[in-house]
Amino acid sequence: MRIEERSVRRACKRAEERLLAHRRADGGWNEEMVWCPALTATAVLAHHACGRPLDERERAGALRYLDHWQLEDGSWGLHPASPGYLYATVLGYVAERLAGRPAEHPAAARAREWVLRRGGPPWAPTWAKAWLALVHLYDWDGLPALPPELFLLPSWLPIHPSRFYCHTRMIYLALSVLSALRFRMPEDDLVRTLREELYPQGWAAVRFAEHRATVAPGDLYVEPTGLLRAAYGALRLGERAAPAALRRRAVARLVEEIRYEQRQSGQAALSPVSGLLNAVALHAADPDGPGAAEALAGMRAWRWEDETEGLRLAGALSHAWDTSFAIQALCAAPGASRHVAVVRGAARALLSYRVTADPPERERHWRSPGRGGWCFTDGRHGWPVSDCAAEALEALRAAERLTGEPVPRVVRAEAVRFVLSRRDVSGGFASYEERRGSPALGRLNPSELFDDCMIDRAYVECTGSCVRALVGAMRDGDLDEAADAGDAVRRAVKYLRAEQQSDGMWRPAWGVYGTYAAFHALAALRAAGVTGNDPTVVAAVRWLVERQRDDGGWGEDWRSCLERRSVPAAEGSATQTAWALLALDAAGVPAEHGAVLRGIGWLLEHQRPDGAWPLGQPSGVFMNTSLLHYKLYPAVFPLWALGRAARGAGR
């Protein structure tokens, strides 16, 4: 098989044009990420709980979105490809009704019937029960104890919440306030009607306390451990014995933390998941104060809206992430010289996203250093991430080579310093924060729906990005942290070797699936000087080649994340095929290798006339079960892979 260089270049040109059409006004990129419908449903509930319902236009937009993602059986899934979940469906149904949809509407009726067939709200996961309690449709007695006094414990204790993964910590910070205050919005006619609809046996007949641990089998991913159940029992006893003065002090401390988070994030919060809860907690603590209104207004930062899908919230925004990959893809493309002005503008946008200061009084507020890093977003919320900083630095270096505009030394030095601050004891790199807690905290995972959500830890993908950035920065020279960076790279290489499975695959945490981990790991190993005939590289290449589909593409099913193994998909994926090709290129596999040629041929065959590739299955994942679409991925990674192919074909 032979691929003509001219065909690859034509495909690249079409892909470049498609990518350029998605630029933001500031010169960067930020494509929508498609998340769980329950997130938009909770926005409707939060506005009602705060006594500030969405206006008529917003309610219509939210209903249009819920209609778009409702499944034929009346349910909503946890992510774009999943079957129905009670978690998403009970929240979606309540949101529909609060948004003004009558109970007899066909969509609402189908959702309600689906919910009731699965036992109704008492069988929903804890997070759904908490949201229902806020709108007076569940009783706080039916939830596990969430005493705010835990946050008053000495921070050196291994179970202190400051040791939790930041997303989990922020969610339970707000939930603890709401639970302590037993907050619920006022009962009205709609609430009473919804109770009749959701509890046909009668509200008064429900024994909520018996359902603190009941979860529908289809929603349960992490079975509560015996240790967690024992902890719940102890917490409930302790909650009853806690003095009222201590309870008030604990609530005040947590409200202080919520206000701090809202100020530091420009009211956007770490994510809308915790931000919406923050808004309700601020309303519960001070109904007449401005905090809730400001927090709800800040949630607009996470909104997307159009005529097709309506109004919805994304769980994250990806300015820095998308812009970093877009720059690297354009710089690798054969037509890169045509895009000097575009890349220059994108690099300046990326620089504007940089975090330039540490959080004030960060030790008191359990925050890590942030100066010199990049957030996943445009930086407004102030939560930088190791691999976002690493990929941003790599993108700026690629832009420098193309445009001649050097990366300022202070930017490079502070980025390296930030990346090094996220080193893990294992030798790898964590994400938002350095690891603070023991893996044993995973036995206390209370989420039921999600896994790997209790501590920040080392990840193969974060480590891969960080190694590439550190090696590149050291090659640039004039770096005060060169010795420290060199040691970090050596330890990271050992970590990557240790994390490789016996079959040659690396297990990822943020993408679907082994192809994504291989893309990051192999690029890092080769950047660090590991040769193509090294056993680790050879095993990874063999794994990739063995999983190539008969049609030349690569495709792993989203269920791989749930099963923690590579599950073949029914069809190939443009994003995963690109990852595999980039991984093989990083490993030094020659352009004329059969697997490479067939993979390139697959991309050429599946490119659409508009230059893009089909979105396919979800390619991203969060906490093992929360799959999501990165809409920019099928535009940027195939271009990057074909650009490398064009370079190889021209040799």
pLDDT in tens, 335-350: 899 999 999 999 999 9
The single residue of 219, 378, 387, 557 carrying the catalytic annotation is 387
Residue 300 pLDDT exceeds 70: yes
23 with 90, same domain: the answer is: no
Residue 335, token pair as written in the block? 């037509």
Residue 75, token pair as written in the block? 């349910």
Per-residue pLDDT at 648: 64
329 with 303, same domain: the answer is: no
Distance (Å, whole) CA 395 – CA 397: 5
394 with 274, same domain: the answer is: no
331 with 201, same domain: the answer is: no
pLDDT tens figures, 539-580: 999 999 999 999 999 999 999 999 999 999 999 999 999 999
Residue 199, token pair as written in the block? 């509890």
Per-residue pLDDT at 2: 65
Of 219, 215, 184, 195, give the one whose Cα is nearest residue 97: 195
Residue pointed to by tokens 């893009």: 612
Per-residue pLDDT at 478: 67
297 with 435, same domain: the answer is: no
Query: At CB < 8 A and 24+ separation, what contacts does 167-172 make?
Result: 167/270, 167/271, 167/273, 167/274, 167/432, 167/453, 168/447, 168/453, 168/454, 169/366, 170/261, 170/269, 170/270, 170/271, 170/274, 170/278, 171/127, 171/273, 171/274, 171/277, 172/146, 172/446
535: Cβ–Cβ under 8 A, 6 or more apart, which residues? none
| Rounded (10°) CA dihedral 379, 383, 384, 386 | -150
| CATH number of the CATH domain containing 426 | 1.50.10.20
pLDDT tens figures, 29-61: 999 999 999 999 999 999 999 999 999 999 999
pLDDT tens figures, 469-495: 999 999 988 678 888 999 999 999 999
The answer to whether the peptide bond before residue 353 is cis (omega within 30 degrees of 0) is: no
Residue 269 pLDDT exceeds 60: yes
Looking only at the bridges linking them, the beta strands covering 374-375 and 310-313 are unpaired
| Cα separations in angstroms, 336 against 13, 341, 591, 633 | 10, 10, 20, 19
199 with 336, same domain: the answer is: no
51 with 176, same domain: the answer is: yes
Tell me the three state secondary structure of residue 630.
Answer: strand
What's the domain range around 524? 5-32+316-649
Domain boundary among 313, 330, 354: 313
Residue 588 pLDDT exceeds 70: yes
What does the mean pLDDT of the chain come to?
Answer: 95
155 with 85, same domain: the answer is: yes
pLDDT tens figures, 182-211: 999 999 999 999 999 999 999 999 999 999
Residue 330 pLDDT exceeds 50: yes
| Cα separations in angstroms, 561 against 63, 215, 584 | 30, 21, 22
Distance (Å, whole) CA 592 – CA 3: 9
587 with 461, same domain: the answer is: yes
Distance (Å, whole) CA 177 – CA 256: 11
**What is the phi/psi pair of residue 311, to 5°?**
-100, 130
400 with 458, same domain: the answer is: yes
**What is the phi/psi pair of residue 57, to 5°?**
-65, -40
402 with 296, same domain: the answer is: no
Domain boundary among 313, 346, 363: 313
Residue 224 pLDDT exceeds 80: yes
Q: Residue 461 — pLDDT band, cuts 50, 70, 90?
A: very high
Q: How far is CA 306 from the centre of its chain?
A: 22
Per-residue pLDDT at 493: 98
14 with 111, same domain: the answer is: no
| Cα separations in angstroms, 510 against 55, 462, 626 | 36, 9, 10
Domain boundary among 295, 313, 331: 313
Count the domains in the chain. Answer: 2
Say which DSSP state 224 is in: P
Distance (Å, whole) CA 430 – CA 435: 7
Per-residue pLDDT at 650: 45
Per-residue pLDDT at 649: 52
Share of the chain above pLDDT 90, in %: 94
The yes-or-no answer on residue 484 being catalytic is no
